[in-house]
């Protein structure tokens, strides 16, 4: 059997890799890295970690200052430990490779580490006999600088073929860079905003799905830059244009059996999948602090924008927060989509918290109610109330208030992560809630 360490050594030697980027995604949803020189590779292969300040998990998106009340102080060091199974060369950055990391405090996973949190939730699901597979379905804008303005890279509309032609070289390089990193793009097409694209990728086991989201965001941003473009995943860049979602598709498995569909009626959801989505819908207002974490996120969540603005589910219903995609005739349902998610999220926290909400639904045997097969915005308030359909939080402030009351989610997170994460969310909300839209977008545009 080839030793994995030898494979990494050989890849580094033969490709002249000078730096390996150690990546983590923080409580602000920012992807950060420290790149280590390969002259010291042996230490890292033996498990040495890369130090970062513990307080790094208390830094909000807009400033380099600590959020108050995070429980973290400038004193204290934690270490990123490479998960060498995620090692890849970076096709867009010759001489650089990358690994994803878990943050440790001493020998143990650090309670504030988002990737370790997702691992815990996967383990919890495993204790119930379940494995989750998932994929984030990203939308993003390609933009160009014109003087001090930023404008869409094209003026196409949904699925207009011209978009594929105009940006062909960039899209070609993007696809090949993703493939080189083990990510299979399933499709690419113009989304409804000018310069907006959607690129669904193949699903994977939960931890890998969150890793894929990091790799995807990194790769899109970097390849766009090589073509003189800015790629942005900010949820709502242009107030009157479509927002960027990152709908979270997931399925429930037992071993190699997909248990999302009802075995006797494969066009319907299994009972377990129904209780799982009941948990998601029950916790959704609080869950949004993870899935739509930016103050900007709430500008995207609006009725009639297909972004999932009400707590309901439906078959093929693009206005329901939870949509069950309808398969081609004669095929079983394969998975479920949560629409109330955008790409400013930390994917480990978003997916981990969604699993926690779903498992709570399973444990309590919750009922999601009847599927909703109309646009919930067309129902009267009275009808919605009778059917248990609630509008979702209209701001990050409201979602934070919901999370503060949500014992199950807070407990899943653990006291340390709950505290540091909420401190960062509150700091961003306070700093940005009254900002004019343009100023907010200017801060966020190249962070996400």
- Total of chain residues touching Mg ion, rule CB under 5 A: 1
| Residue with Cβ nearer Mg ion (198 or 428) | 198
DSSP for residue 221? H
Q: Which is nearer to Mg ion, 24 or 141 (CB)?
A: 141
Nearest residue (CB) to ligand GLU, 31 versus 242: 242
Nearest to 150 by CA among 197, 195, 190: 195
Closest alpha carbon to 84 in 45, 118, 110: 45
Q: Which of 305, 310, 421, 448 binds ligand GLU (CB under 6 A)?
A: 305
Q: Does 293 bind ligand GLU (CB under 6 A)?
A: no
Query: Would you count residue 306 as binding ligand GLU (CB under 6 A)?
Result: yes
Q: What is the dihedral of CA 251, 255, 258, 261, to 10 degrees?
A: -100
Q: Is the dihedral of CA 343, 344, 348, 354 positive or negative?
A: negative
* 215 near ligand GLU, rule: CB under 6 A: no
Residue 137 C-beta: closest distance to ligand GLU, Å: 7
Q: Taking the chain, what is the end-to-end CA distance rounded to the nearest angstrom?
A: 41
Does residue 245 belong to the site contacting ligand GLU (CB under 6 A)? yes
- Give the residue at shortest CB distance from ligand GLU: 245
Rounded Cα gap, residues 157 and 295, in angstroms:
27
Phi, psi at residue 288, to the nearest 5°? -60, -25
**Site mask for Mg ion (CB under 5 A), range 178-207, x = bound:** --------------------x---------
Rounded to whole angstroms, the Cα distance separating 421 from 290 reads 9
Size, binding site for ligand GLU by CB under 6 A: 10
- Taking residues 105 to 144 in sequence order and writing x for each that binds ligand GLU by CB under 6 A, - otherwise, the string is ----------------------------------x-----
> Judged by CB, which is closer to Mg ion: 60, or 308?
308
Taking a C-beta distance cutoff of 8 angstroms, is the pair 366, 388 a contact? no
The count of residues in the chain is 448
The CA distance from 296 to 313, in Å, is 24
Please state the closest distance from residue 277 (CB atom) to ligand GLU, in A.
18
Which segment (10-18, 110-118, 301-309, 389-397) binds ligand GLU by CB under 6 A? 301-309
| Residue 300 binds ligand GLU (CB under 6 A) | yes
Q: Decide if residue 26 touches Mg ion (CB under 5 A).
A: no
Asked if 409 contacts 332 with a C-beta cutoff of 8 angstroms, the reply is no
Residues 307-366 that bind ligand GLU (CB under 6 A): 307, 318, 339
Which listed residue (25, 242, 248, 427) binds ligand GLU by CB under 6 A?
Answer: 242
| Residue 307 interacts with which of ligand GLU, Mg ion, none, CB < 5 to 8 Å by class | ligand GLU
- Range 56-80 burial, b when 16+ CB lie within 10 A, else e: bbbbbbbeeebbeebbbeeeeebbb
Return d(Cα 272, Cα 418) in angstroms, integer. Answer: 28
Q: Does position 154 bind Mg ion by CB under 5 A?
A: no
Binding mask 398-417 for ligand GLU (x = CB under 6 A): --------------------
Contacting positions for Mg ion (CB under 5 A): 198
Contacting positions for ligand GLU (CB under 6 A): 139, 242-243, 245, 300, 305-307, 318, 339
């Amino acid at each position: 059997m080839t030793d994995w360490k030898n494979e990494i050594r050989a890849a580094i030697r033969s490709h002249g890799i000078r730096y390996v980027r150690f990546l983590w995604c923080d409580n602000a949803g920012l992807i950060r890295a420290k790149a280590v020189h390969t002259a010291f590779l042996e230490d890292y292969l033996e498990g040495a970690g890369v130090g970062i300040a513990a307080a790094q998990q208390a830094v909000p998106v807009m400033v380099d200052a600590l959020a108050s009340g995070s429980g973290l102080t400038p004193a204290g060091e934690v270490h990123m430990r490479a998960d060498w199974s995620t090692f890849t060369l970076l096709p867009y950055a010759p001489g650089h490779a990358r690994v994803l990391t878990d943050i440790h405090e001493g020998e143990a996973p650090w309670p504030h580490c988002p990737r370790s949190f997702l691992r815990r939730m996967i383990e919890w699901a495993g204790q119930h006999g379940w494995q989750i597979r998932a994929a984030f379905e990203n939308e993003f804008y390609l933009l160009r600088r014109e003087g001090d303005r930023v404008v869409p890279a094209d003026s196409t509309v949904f699925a207009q073929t011209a978009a594929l032609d105009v940006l062909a070289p960039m899209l070609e390089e993007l696809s090949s860079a993703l493939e080189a990193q083990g990510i299979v793009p399933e499709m690419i097409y113009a989304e409804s905003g000018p310069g907006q694209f959607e690129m669904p990728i193949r699903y994977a086991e939960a931890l890998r799905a969150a890793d894929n989201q990091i790799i995807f965001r990194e790769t899109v941003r970097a390849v766009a830059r090589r073509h003189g473009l800015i790629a942005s995943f900010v949820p709502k860049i242009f107030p009157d244009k479509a927002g960027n979602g990152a709908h979270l598709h997931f399925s429930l498995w037992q071993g190699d059996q997909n248990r999302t569909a009802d075995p006797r009626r494969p066009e319907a959801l299994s009972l377990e999948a129904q209780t799982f989505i009941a948990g998601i819908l029950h916790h959704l207002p609080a869950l949004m602090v993870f899935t739509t974490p930016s103050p900007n996120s709430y500008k995207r969540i609006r009725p009639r924008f297909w972004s999932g603005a009400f707590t309901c589910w439906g078959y093929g219903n693009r206005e329901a927060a939870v949509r069950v995609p309808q398969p081609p005739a004669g095929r079983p349902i394969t998975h479920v989509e949560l629409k109330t998610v955008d790409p400013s999220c930390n994917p480990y926290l978003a997916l981990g918290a969604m699993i926690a909400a779903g498992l709570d639904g399973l444990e309590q045997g919750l009922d999601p109610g009847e599927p909703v097969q109309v646009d919930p915005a067309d129902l009267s308030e009275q009808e919605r109330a009778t059917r248990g359909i609630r509008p979702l939080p209209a701001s990050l402030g409201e979602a934070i208030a919901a999370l503060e009351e949500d014992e199950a989610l807070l407990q899943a997170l653990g006291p340390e992560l709950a505290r540091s994460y909420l401190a960062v969310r509150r700091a961003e909300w306070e700093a940005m809630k009254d900002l004019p839209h343009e100023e907010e977008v200017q801060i966020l545009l190249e962070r996400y």
